[in-house]
């Protein structure tokens, strides 16, 4: 029998799948698994607790460790001060002669994918390194039609990926409409507080809506400047300047007219 397990990121799309399954609108999941980096936003943790209380599908939390803490004790790229392995974040580098680079991204695999796969094995009743028959686990992923480029095929024979939102031709906006239809608030975007892939709009929102988490990201950015055994400096933002010096103002802040104003609206 094939097990259906949701890879739960606790963002808009994966939350939609979990609740749709819980409400009986789509096939029943056997379980959902959330991989905790220990550096998610408080909004994500609060939302996850709500999902756990409302879902009829069992929700499991797993963790490889504290990504932030591990990053700060690393002394050379890929190695912790203790000598054990640490997965690098995709941080931005600026060499002594102005050359720009980016550290290879390993954190997603080490802190998300590996712990998820371990729990998938456990839920299916298999021990580490025990052979699992091909196609034993169907992993649902919350990827919508506007993210088709992110859809992929599993590189493990015992896992098959399924994309129910794509099958239903649902976009992220369709997911948000589903939440409104059911009288539910919009889920927060799920990402590590210090994720280098945040857009300026997301950094701005973090700064305005969660000052303590913004301060955490700024402190982390300062702490990594000379770490990692890199020539030059390391930054959390693509501008390769300290995070608290990045211009996060939007068009309105810069005094630009909105489209409504340009159209002559009052």
User: Which pLDDT score, from 0 to 100, does residue 264 have?
Assistant: 44
User: Which pLDDT score, from 0 to 100, does residue 59 have?
Assistant: 98
C-alpha span between 237 and 240 (Å, rounded): 6
Confidence check: pLDDT of 132 > 60: yes
C-alpha span between 220 and 62 (Å, rounded): 24
Percent of the chain residues topping a pLDDT of 90: 79
Confidence check: pLDDT of 170 > 80: yes
User: Which pLDDT score, from 0 to 100, does residue 226 have?
Assistant: 85
Cα–Cα distances (Å) from 176 to 19, 148, 166, 188, 200, in that order, read 13, 18, 15, 11, 22
What are the strands, taking DSSP E only, across the chain? 3-7, 31-35, 59-62, 74-76, 79-80, 92-94, 100-102, 137-141, 159-162, 233-235
**105-120 pLDDT per residue, tens:** 999 999 999 999 999 9
pLDDT band at 5 (very low <50, low <70, confident <90, very high): very high
> Helix/strand/coil (H, E, C) string of 119-161?
HHHHHCCCCCCCCCCCCCEEEEECCCHHHHHHCCCCCCCCEEE
Q: Mean of the pLDDT values across residues 35-53?
A: 96
- Check if the beta carbon of residue 165 is closer than 8 Å to that of residue 175: yes
The token pair that represents 76 in the structure block? 């050379």
The token pair that represents 34 in the structure block? 């959330």
- Cα–Cα nearest to 147, from 175, 123, 119, 125: 175
Percent of the chain residues topping a pLDDT of 70: 89
pLDDT band at 189 (very low <50, low <70, confident <90, very high): confident
Average pLDDT of every residue of the chain: 90
Q: Mean of the pLDDT values across residues 172-185?
A: 96
- pTM, to two decimals: 0.88
Cα–Cα distances (Å) from 141 to 3, 85, 162, in that order, read 14, 28, 6
C-alpha span between 15 and 48 (Å, rounded): 9
């Amino acid at each position: 029998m094939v097990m259906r397990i949701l890879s739960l990121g606790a963002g808009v799309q994966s939350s939609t799948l979990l609740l749709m399954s819980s409400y009986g609108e789509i096939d029943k999941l056997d379980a959902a698994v959330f991989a905790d980096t220990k550096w998610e936003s408080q909004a994500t943790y609060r939302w996850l607790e709500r999902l756990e209380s409302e879902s009829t599908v069992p929700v499991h939390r797993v963790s490889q460790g504290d990504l932030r803490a591990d990053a700060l004790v690393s002394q050379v790229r890929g190695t912790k001060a203790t000598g054990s392995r640490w997965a690098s974040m995709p941080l931005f580098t600026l060499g002594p002669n102005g050359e720009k680079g980016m550290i290879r991204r390993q954190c997603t695999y080490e802190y998300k994918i590996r712990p998820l796969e371990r729990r998938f094995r456990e839920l299916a009743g298999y021990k580490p390194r025990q052979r699992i028959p091909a196609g034993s686990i169907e992993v649902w992923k919350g990827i919508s039609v506007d993210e088709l480029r992110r859809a992929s095929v599993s590189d493990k024979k015992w896992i098959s990926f399924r994309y129910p939102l794509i099958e239903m031709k649902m976009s992220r906006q369709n997911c948000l409409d589903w939440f409104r239809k059911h009288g539910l608030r919009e889920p927060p975007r799920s990402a590590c507080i210090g994720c280098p892939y945040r857009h300026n709009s997301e950094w701005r929102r973090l700064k305005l809506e969660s000052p303590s988490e913004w301060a955490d990201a700024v402190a982390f950015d300062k702490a990594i400047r000379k770490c990692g055994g890199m020539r030059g400096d390391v930054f959390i933002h693509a501008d390769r300047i300290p995070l608290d010096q990045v211009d996060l103002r939007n068009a309105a802040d810069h005094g630009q007219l909105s489209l409504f104003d340009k159209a002559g609206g009052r």
